[in-house]
Amino acid sequence: MDWLLRLKAEPQCQEAARGLHAWLEHSDDNRTAWQAALRTWELLGEVKPQYTDLWSARPDATVVVHPAWRRRRWVAGGVFAIAAAIALVLAGPALLLRLQADVMTTTGESRLVTLADGTEVNLSGGSAIGVDITAEGRRVRLLSGEAFFDVAHDAARPFTVEAGGAKVVVLGTAFDVALDPSSTTVQLARGVVGISGTTASAVTEMAPGDMATVDHDTGEILHETVPVGEIGAWRNGLLFVNDVPVESVVARLQRYHSAWIGLPDRRLARQRVTGLYDLRDPDRALRALVQPLGGKVRAVSDYVRVISRF
């Protein structure tokens, strides 16, 4: 599992690929352990890579049919193919994101950028935006993560933010947008914005303290209010959430945790929570999130955290 998570964290690291190659070639036991790790990966809710079938044949099949030197060559070539496939499968989404993004942050990194029009954008960890500012208009796409926007006023050029089917249109204001697996949340700190979903023809106006959550599947918009002082609290190392699914909070904490976090229990994932969590200690935040609901955070290794019920 450490090898799998290392390749996920460093998909282009040739040293990791060579290390996996050498480790797999060392013994049949290692290859068996690799298969077990891949099965665990699937059970945790991840898509099983197609290349795992390469190691599913009878352990002695190649030994019986081929001389030892040909077996070693097959193993070496096969392992390099597996490593390449792993890199492609795990790095694919990240590579696509890099092609689309103009600004990105890594895990645990917050970054303040000033756009060409004077708008300030504060990105949380693991976030990315695409920017298109012209004489005719200003458009930003939140591709992943969360960002706080302090928009420079320009009556002739409305500022538009698109994130997961939600669309926010403003002239000059400050607001937070969080892109989660199943929804997009917009919280308004200052000014006035209009928000719409993929299925909504009308634009809903928001005032300071309003929070709108757009469901990615239905396009439905849920409206609530939050303390203005808590909006964008992640900029100070705190995460404030109000009546959101546990899986959404885990997705936000993942942006600050170096380990992969698995949440296979769908019932637990769908439970809704309200709370304030410390982003400076993601493990502590995870425990504070799930323990009141009967959950436990298990450290499988330095690279893996699994959340399940007691």
Model confidence band, residue 278 (pLDDT cutoffs 50, 70, 90):
very high
Least confident of 18-27, 70-79, 177-186, 260-269: 70-79
What percentage of the chain exceeds 90 in pLDDT?
Answer: 50
- pLDDT(58) > 50: no
Could you give the CA distance from residue 215 to residue 221 in angstroms, rounded to a whole number?
6
Question: pTM here?
Answer: 0.66
> Phi and psi at residue 121, in whole multiples of 5°?
-125, 125
Instruction: State the average pLDDT for the chain.
Output: 81
Least confident of 29-43, 92-106, 138-152, 286-300: 29-43
Structural domains in the chain, CATH included, are 2-100 (no CATH), 117-227 (2.60.120.1440), 237-310 (3.55.50.30)
Residue 126 three-state SS: coil
Per-residue pLDDT, averaged over 72-101, amounts to 56
Per-residue pLDDT, averaged over 235-262, amounts to 92
Model confidence band, residue 41 (pLDDT cutoffs 50, 70, 90):
low
> Amino acid letter at 208?
P
Helix-strand-coil split of the chain, %, nearest 5: 35, 35, 30
DSSP letter for 200, please.
-
Query: What is the number of helices (H) and of strands (E) in the chain?
Result: 8, 18
Q: Which pLDDT does position 80 carry in this prediction?
A: 52
Model confidence band, residue 18 (pLDDT cutoffs 50, 70, 90):
confident
